[in-house]
């Protein structure tokens, strides 16, 4: 066997994204919590950029001679004028955590039902009963019920049944109704149907907060769509202008590159804002009844139709809605909720059931047309699958 090598040429076409296009798509895909950190890094790497902050109004100090004479009305409001003259006061129109941490919203991990139960038992039970309580706790599921009957637990742990019963009575008398129930029948007798001892208690997970990227409000009989504004400001001071005009070649080239980069990021953020506003407008146009609480049905949006309006590919719209939330008059939802197949499937099943019951002999192809007339566009094979799920027979 001989080994060798040769050189050949092959011509092929590939579609690739430039580094700038990749960065623009990255900014589009980031949600409100992620983009703040990204912009901080961008600003630190570019001396010509600043993050647009909310304006502060500075009340300048005034000398005693510059102060207006106090009249009787001002003297009565002594608390208002008791501020030290040496202090400058920064007034902010709106209190928000968009530019930093809001410590009121940082919560510690919540205690679980088991931890609350154990702490309570520690205070009301003596040492012997508390040992029996821990045996019951080891045999308790997440709902607050024991996984075996008391006789089995007592036998396996070599403890008296009466002692276990005494612990259960003490815990229930303390307010934990139904705790350590051995079966559903006993539990329903003690608490009623659909309730468990752990109902209403935390599972110990951290509270997750979301920051909406899109806001939909209904004011003065009109819908208003806004986007959380993350803006960069180009700031070229006199020293940088001088370098750009008369500086050394290396320094001038560096600032020229940074200037071009700054303009790119500003434009990319504006495109991100425009894309999200377009998506918000489409949500309103198709789902105004849902947002006004006059209907509980959602008409799902199509990514390809939005992509055509914006002039981008479908994958760009998909990136735009990824991990983002919209705040509406009826609650806060993931933006993808308005693109979801779940709502479309539920509507399709409902319409198919209605049509087939009226005309059992209708074909799948005719069903596709009927669904399309009601703005539900699905393939014939999908119609056939939904029809079978409903148990309404398969069309011949």
Crossing angle of the two packed helices 19-29 and 249-291, in degrees rounded to 10: 40
At 170 the pLDDT is 93
For residue 90, the SS3 value is strand
DSSP 42-60: HHHH-TTEEE-PPP-EEE-
At 370 the pLDDT is 85
pLDDT lower than 50: segments of the chain: 54-65, 67-107, 395-396
Q: What is the pLDDT of residues 124-155, one digit of tens each?
A: 999 999 999 999 999 998 889 999 899 999 99
Global confidence as pTM: 0.51
Residue 210 exposure: Cα atoms within 13 Å on the Cβ side: 15
At 108 the pLDDT is 52
At 87 the pLDDT is 31
At 4 the pLDDT is 67
At 227 the pLDDT is 87
Structure letter (DSSP) for residue 220 = T
CA distances from 194 to 171, 197, 198 (A): 21, 11, 12
- Give the pairing of strands 214-219 and 325-328: parallel
Helix (H) or strand (E) holding 277: helix 249-291
Contacts of 25-29 with C-beta under 8 Å, sequence gap 24+, read 25/316, 25/319, 27/265, 27/268, 27/269, 27/272, 28/268, 28/271, 28/272, 28/275, 28/316, 28/319, 28/320, 29/319, 29/320, 29/322, 29/323
Inter-residue contact 261 to 255 (CB < 8 Å) = no
At 12 the pLDDT is 61
CA distances from 369 to 351, 355, 383 (A): 12, 12, 11
Residues 6+ apart with CB under 8 A from 389: 349
């Amino acid at each position: 066997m001989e080994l060798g090598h040769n050189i050949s040429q092959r011509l092929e076409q590939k579609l690739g994204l430039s580094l700038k296009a990749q960065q623009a798509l990255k900014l589009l895909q980031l949600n409100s919590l992620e983009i703040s950190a990204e912009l901080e890094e961008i600003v630190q790497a570019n001396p010509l950029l600043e993050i647009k902050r909310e304006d502060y109004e500075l009340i300048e100090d005034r000398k005693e001679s510059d102060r207006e004479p106090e009249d009787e009305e001002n003297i009565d409001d002594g608390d208002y004028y008791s501020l030290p003259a040496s202090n400058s006061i920064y007034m902010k129109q709106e209190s928000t955590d968009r530019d930093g941490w809001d410590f009121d919203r940082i919560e510690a991990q919540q205690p679980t039902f088991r931890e609350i139960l154990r702490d309570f038992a520690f205070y009301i039970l003596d040492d012997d009963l508390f040992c029996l309580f821990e045996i019951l706790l080891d045999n308790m599921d997440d709902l607050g019920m024991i996984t075996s009957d008391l006789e089995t637990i007592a036998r396996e742990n070599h403890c008296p049944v009466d002692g276990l019963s005494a612990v259960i009575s003490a815990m229930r008398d303390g307010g934990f109704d139904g705790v350590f129930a051995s079966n559903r029948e006993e539990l329903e007798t003690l608490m009623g149907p659909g309730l468990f001892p752990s109902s209403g208690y935390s599972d110990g997970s951290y509270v997750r907060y979301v920051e909406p990227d899109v806001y939909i409000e209904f004011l003065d009989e009109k819908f208003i769509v806004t986007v959380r504004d993350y803006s960069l400001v180009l700031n070229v001071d006199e020293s940088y202008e001088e370098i750009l005009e008369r500086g050394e070649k290396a320094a001038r080239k560096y600032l020229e590159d940074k200037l071009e980069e700054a303009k790119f990021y500003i434009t990319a953020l504006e495109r991100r804002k425009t894309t999200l506003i377009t998506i918000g407008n489409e949500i309103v146009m198709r789902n105004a009844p849902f947002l006004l609480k006059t209907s509980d049905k959602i008409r799902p949006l199509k990514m390809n139709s939005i992509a055509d309006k914006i002039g981008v590919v479908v994958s760009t719209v998909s990136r735009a809605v990824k991990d983002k939330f919209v705040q509406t008059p009826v609650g806060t939802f993931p933006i993808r909720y308005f693109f979801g197949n779940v709502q479309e499937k539920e509507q399709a099943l409902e319409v198919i059931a209605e049509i087939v019951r009226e005309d059992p002999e209708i074909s799948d192809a005719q069903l596709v047309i009927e669904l399309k007339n009601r703005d539900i566009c699905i393939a014939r094979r999908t119609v056939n699958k939904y029809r079978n799920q409903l148990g309404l027979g398969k069309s011949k």
